[in-house]
Amino acid sequence: MLGIEPMYVRAAAFVLIVLVLGLVFRSRRMYAFELLLVLITVLAAGWYFTQEVALLGMMKQGLDLQGGTRLVLQAVPTEELTADEFKDRLDASTEIIRERVDKLGVAEPVIYQEAEKDRIIVELAAVSRDEAMDIVKIAYLTFKDAEGNVIITGDDLVQAKEDLEQGSRPVVNLTLKPEAEDRFAEATTRIYNGQSASRSIFIYLDEDLVSAPQVMAPDIRKAQISGYPDLKDARRIATILNIGALPLQLNVSEVREVSASLGADSLRRSEFAAVVGIGAVILFMILFYRGAGVIADFALVVYGMLVLAILVLFDAVLTLPGVAGLVLGVGIAVDANVLIYERVKDHLRAGRTLRAAVDSGYRSAMRTVMDANLTTLIAAAVLFYYGTGPVRGFAVTLGVSILASLLTAVVFSQYVLRLVINARLIRRASVLFGEKEANLGGAR
pLDDT in tens, 305-329: 888 888 887 777 777 766 777 777 7
CA distances from 77 to 33, 117, 143 (A): 74, 11, 32
CA 297 to chain centre: 24
Of the candidates 340, 333, 342, 335, the residue with the CA atom closest to the CA atom of residue 408: 333
Residues 128 and 104: their CA atoms lie apart, in Å, by: 13
Q: What is the mean pLDDT of residues 348-373?
A: 87
User: Looking at domain 141-244, does it have CATH number 3.30.1360.200?
Assistant: yes
Query: Model confidence at 106, in pLDDT bands (50, 70, 90)?
Result: very low
Question: What is the H or E stretch that residue 50 is in?
Answer: none
pLDDT tens by residue, 13-69: 555 565 555 555 566 677 777 777 778 877 777 777 776 666 666 777 777 777 788
CATH class (in words) of the domain with range 68-138+249-257: alpha beta
* % of the chain at pLDDT higher than 90: 2
* % of the chain at pLDDT higher than 70: 81
Q: Report helix, strand or coil for 156.
A: helix
pTM, to two decimals: 0.64
CA distances from 129 to 221, 255, 257, 337 (A): 37, 7, 8, 47
CATH number of 7-63+260-433: 1.20.1640.10
